Amino acid sequence: MTIFITSLCVQAQITVCTTCTISSIQQGIDLATAYDTVFVEEGVYFEYNIAIGKPLTILGENGAIIDGQKQGTILKVQTTNATISGLTLRHVGLSHTEEYAAVHVSNTKHFTLNRLTVEDAFFGFLIEGSSKGRITNNKLSGESEMEFYSGNGIHAWKSKELVITENEIRNLRDGIYLEFVDNSEVVNNLSENNIRYGLHFMFSNNNAYSNNTFTKNGAGVAVMFSKFIEMKDNHFLNNWGTASFGLLLKEIYDAEITGNTFDENTVAIAVEGSSRITYQHNKLSANGWGVKMSGGCYSNKFLSNAFSNNSFDVSFNSRLNDNEFTGNYWSTYSGYDLNKDGIGDVPHRPVKLFSYVVNKTPESIVLLRSFFVDLINFTENVAPVFTPVDLIDNSPLMRVPS
């Protein structure tokens, strides 16, 4: 009995190094028994399709590099309780039909990918049908020159309960892509210079992302066809381009968007057909459009947000409005506050008539600063004909809320 217990408790370590008798990682894995640690010493290992079929910890020393020689997927996790940590993975294969990745996790539970560096990725981490995974402290980057020869950094499909934190993702297609992924968290990541989106949700419900920074991506974050997504304290910066935006919401419902910062994006928040969303305490500054709504958007609430120096704070494409704007700060507000309670005494109409013209005929944007446009905006403000009469903030703040 004692022997049995000791054999359970003592986890053996197998060391792999380029000059050892065990000189390949696959060999090390094959020799290990379940719950062992395979320690990979410094050096370059030219291997791909490394299969991990039993619960193991694979731990890389500083400078341990696996080079896939562009042949295919490097590591394949096909077991529960696998931990991969400390390795550098480079030169993932490119393919037209196969989705090669640095690490491919399929149909498993309880996996950890930690402190990995992926260079020259096609896909970084590809996670399919798996749950309870932790993906933390990794650095992923690609060298994609051709748009369609780029994969996603962290790509999860039909998975749940993933925790994705403290990763840095650069130069890929989508930094993080979640399709049919539920109950997951994306926290404290940096996603920059990706060709398409920093973060992308598709058909994924009950997820939260917070404290992430999305900068200089094709566009910041796209949340599409999803419900119950919480978006908190993120930074959406510098997403410029004709088709670009900080945050795209397409057919999403029941979301909370709180405390985010949107600076210098062509469109800070582009909303299409999304309802029951609460926008609170967000700061939108120096964007082309603050909030650009189209399609049927109902029962949305905008409370205590700050709209500063945007060319258009809010644009709307319908004459009907079912959205509430209360207690926001508008830098374009020209009213006064005689009783000094910090709330403007006259209501503010955030939608300019000219934004309708620009929506119909984008080229007319060249007239933005003209006297004529100021005139029609003013006239519409005084006597609304085209803009929704009830799209109005009755208690505009005089100062940016802290």
Partner 1 sequence: MKTLWLIVGICFLITSCQKGPKEIMYGHENCEFCSMTIMDDKHAAQIVTNTGKVYVYDSIECMLRSLEFYGENADQIVVMDFNNPGSYLNASEATYLIAPRLPSPMGANLSAFATGEDALNVGFDGTLYTWETIRKHIK
Which one among 94, 202, 367, 376 touches partner 1, defined by CB under 8 A?
Answer: 202
Piece of 25-33, 103-111, 145-153, 338-346 that binds partner 1 (CB under 8 A): 145-153
CA distance 214 to 226: 20
Which one among 203, 228, 240, 298 touches partner 1, defined by CB under 8 A?
Answer: 203
The residue among 160, 203, 168, 158 whose CA lies nearest residue 185 is: 160
Site string for partner 1, 95-124 (x = CB under 8 A): -xx---------------------------
CB closer to partner 1, 48 vs 157: 157
CA distance 223 to 212: 15
Answer yes or no: are the C-beta atoms of 248 and 227 closer than 8 Å. Answer: no
Piece of 9-17, 132-140, 236-244, 282-290 that binds partner 1 (CB under 8 A): 236-244
CA distance 114 to 99: 21
Where b means 16+ CB within 10 Å and e means fewer, 293-326 reads beeebeebebbebbbbebbbbbbbeeeebebbbe
Which one among 109, 132, 170, 196 touches partner 1, defined by CB under 8 A?
Answer: 196
222 binds partner 1 (CB under 8 A): yes
330 binds partner 1 (CB under 8 A): no
DSSP character at residue 358: H
CA distance 210 to 87: 27
Size of the site for partner 1 (CB under 8 A): 25
The residue among 235, 273, 237, 267 whose CA lies nearest residue 255 is: 273
Piece of 55-63, 77-85, 100-108, 195-203 that binds partner 1 (CB under 8 A): 195-203
CB closer to partner 1, 182 vs 380: 182
CB closer to partner 1, 179 vs 192: 179
Instruction: Give the Cβ contact number of residue 52 at 10 Å.
Output: 24
Distances (CA, A) of 319 to 70, 228, 386, 388, 391: 55, 28, 7, 5, 9
Which one among 219, 237, 247, 293 touches partner 1, defined by CB under 8 A?
Answer: 219
179 binds partner 1 (CB under 8 A): yes
Question: Residue 97: which region, alpha, beta or left (left: phi > 0; alpha: psi -120 to 50)?
Answer: alpha
SS3 58: strand
- At its nearest, how many Å lie between partner 1 and the CB of residue 225? 8
CB closer to partner 1, 150 vs 300: 150
- At its nearest, how many Å lie between partner 1 and the CB of residue 171? 12
Burial class (CB in 10 A: 0-12, 13-18, 19+), 75: buried
224 binds partner 1 (CB under 8 A): yes
- At its nearest, how many Å lie between partner 1 and the CB of residue 142? 13
Residue with tokens 């062992």: 36
192 binds partner 1 (CB under 8 A): no
Piece of 43-51, 215-223, 253-261, 387-395 that binds partner 1 (CB under 8 A): 215-223
- At its nearest, how many Å lie between partner 1 and the CB of residue 327? 30
148 binds partner 1 (CB under 8 A): yes
In sequence order, what are the residues at sequence separation of 6 or more whose Cβ sits closer than 8 angstroms to the Cβ of residue 337? Answer: 343, 344, 345, 398
CB closer to partner 1, 143 vs 147: 147
- At its nearest, how many Å lie between partner 1 and the CB of residue 217? 10
Question: Residue 273: which region, alpha, beta or left (left: phi > 0; alpha: psi -120 to 50)?
Answer: left
133 binds partner 1 (CB under 8 A): no
- At its nearest, how many Å lie between partner 1 and the CB of residue 181? 12
Restricting to residues 241-280, which ones interact with partner 1 according to CB under 8 A? Answer: 241-243, 248, 250, 270, 272
CB closer to partner 1, 147 vs 390: 147
Which one among 76, 91, 104, 173 touches partner 1, defined by CB under 8 A?
Answer: 173
The residue among 167, 269, 152, 153 whose CA lies nearest residue 212 is: 167
- Residues near partner 1 (CB under 8 A) are 96-97, 147-148, 150, 157, 173, 179-180, 195-197, 202-203, 218-219, 222, 224, 241-243, 248, 250, 270, 272
